[in-house]
Structure 1
């Protein structure tokens, strides 16, 4: 998933549980609008392809991964 640390993914899991909308991840520097959307599309697709053991390793439930993974690429 592009070098995202387990700590950052666990923070995302806590954010999704609480319903907060803060930015946990930051995209690589220098991406334009289209590059950012492409980056989100790739990482969200990768999230949807993780199995239960991998999701458990990063501290996310299947429901949380599905919610984040199904967001459109233009949404933060």
Structure 2
């Protein structure tokens, strides 16, 4: 699931502090400002729909997913 860029970027920063490497999935190339906002809106809504097993697969807790998923689409 490559659309979790905002969450993955935050997690990458945390993992780098602990010396771990991770693969980060960015938003599709070529998106303008509005395209990026729509991308965030869709991916954050999708994040709120994931069950516990899916969240575990991407390395997030329910609290982290909820925090990211409830952000407004215009915020990083």
TM exceeds 0.5? Answer: yes
Q: What's the RMSD between the two structures over aligned residues?
A: 2.9
Unaligned runs of 5+ in 2: 18-23
Aligned to 2:21: none
Aligned residues: 66
Determine the C-alpha separation between the residues in 1 that align with 2:50 and 2:70: 13
- The higher relative CO (CA closer than 8 Å, separation ≥ 6) is in 1
Answer yes or no: is the 8 Å Cα contact 1:55–1:62 preserved in 2: yes
TM-score normalised per structure 2: 0.70
Determine the C-alpha separation between the residues in 2 that align with 1:51 and 1:37: 24
Correspondence 1:55-70 to 2 at 5 A: 55-70=55-70
Unaligned runs of 5+ in 1: 19-23
TM-score normalised per structure 1: 0.70
Determine the C-alpha separation between the residues in 1 that align with 2:3 and 2:39: 13
What is the Cα deviation at residue 64 of structure 1? Answer: 0.3
Moved over 4 A (4+): none
